[in-house]
Chains A and B, each alone.
Chain A
Amino acid sequence: MAIGAFSHGPTGTVVSAESQKKSRVAWFLLLPGIVYLLLFFLTPLFSLVLTSFKTAPPAAFIGEYVYAFRWENYVEVLGMYGEHSLRSFTYAAIATLIALAIGYPLAYFIGVRLRPYPLLQSLALVLVIAPFFISFLLRTVAWKQLLADQGWIVGTMKAFAILPPDAHITGTSISVIFGLAYNFIPFMTLPLYTSIERLDLRLIEASNDLYANPMTTFRKVTIPLTLPGIVSGTLLTFIPAAGDYVNASANFLGSTQTSMIGNVIESNFLVLQNYPHAASMSLILMGAILVLVSAYVFKSGTDDLL
Chain B
Amino acid sequence: MAQKDASVFAAGGSDLELVGISKVFPGFTAVDNISLKIPAGSFFALLGPSGCGKTTTLRLISGLEEPTAGKILIGGKDITNTKPHQRTVNTVFQSYALFPHMTILENVAFGLKQRKMKNAIELAHEALALVELDHMASRKPSQLSGGQQQRVALARAVVNRPALLLLDEPLGALDLKLRRQMQIELKAIQSEVGLTFLHVTHDQEEAMTMADTVAVMNKGKIEQMGAPAELYELPKTRFVATFLGQSNLFDGKVTGATASTISVAVGSRTLELPAKRSAITSGDITVGVRPEKIAITRAKPAASKSRSLIGPGTVTDASFSGVSTQYLVDVPGLSTMTVFEQNDGDIVKAGTEVWLSWDSEFSFGIPLEAQGFHDSDTSTTTLAAQAK
Residues of chain A at the chain B interface (Cβ within 8 Å): 115-116, 200, 202-203, 205-214, 216-217, 220-221, 224-225
Contact = CB atoms under 8 A, between A and B. Distances in A.
A210 B160 contact: yes
Given A116-B388, A202-B95, A205-B84, A211 B100 contact: no
B222 interface: no
Contacts of B62: 209
B83 A208 contact: yes
Interface stretch (B14-22, B68-76, B86-94, B311-319): B86-94
B99 interface: yes
B97 A206 contact: yes
Interface residues of B, number: 25
A83 B89 CA distance: 58
B85 interface: yes
Identify the interface centre among A206, A210, A211: most chain B CB within 10 Å of its CB.
Answer: A210
Given A210-B114, A211-B115, 8 more contacts: A203-B97, A206-B98, A206-B99, A208-B63, A210-B90, A211-B85, A213-B83, A224-B101
Dominant SS among interface residues on chain A: helix
Contacts of A216: 114
B110 interface: yes
A30 B267 CA distance: 81
Contact of B110 (A200, A210, A214): A210
Nearest to A221: B99
Nearest to B86: A211
Nearest to B106: A220
Contacts of A208: 63-64, 83-85
Given A203-B99, A221-B99, A224-B101, A209 B84 contact: yes
B85 A213 contact: yes
Contacts of A210: 85, 90, 110-111, 114, 156, 160
26 contacts: A115-B388, A116-B385, A203-B97, A203-B100, A205-B84, A206-B97, A206-B98, A206-B99, A208-B63, A208-B64, A208-B83, A208-B85, A209-B63, A209-B84, A209-B85, A209-B91, A210-B90, A211-B85, A211-B111, A211-B114, A211-B160, A212-B85, A212-B110, A213-B85, A220-B110, A224-B101
A221 B97 CA distance: 12
A60 B156 CA distance: 77
A225 B101 contact: yes
Contacts, number: 60
Interface string B27-65: 000000000000000000000000000000000001110
A163 B98 CA distance: 52
Contacts of A116: 385, 388
A209 B90 contact: yes
Nearest to A211: B114
Interface string B297-333: 0000000000000000000000000000000000000
A220 B85 CA distance: 14
A221 B385 CA distance: 22
Given A208-B83, A209-B62, A209-B90, A200 B388 contact: no
Contacts of A225: 100-101
A206 B91 CA distance: 8
A192 B27 CA distance: 35
B90 to A, nearest CB: 6
Interface string B356-382: 000000000000000000000000000
Q: For the complex of A and B, list the 8 residue pairs with the smallest distance between their C-beta atoms, beginning with the closest.
A: A210-B111, A206-B97, A211-B114, A208-B84, A116-B388, A224-B101, A202-B97, A212-B114
Contacts of B114: 210-212, 216
Contacts of A212: 85, 110, 114
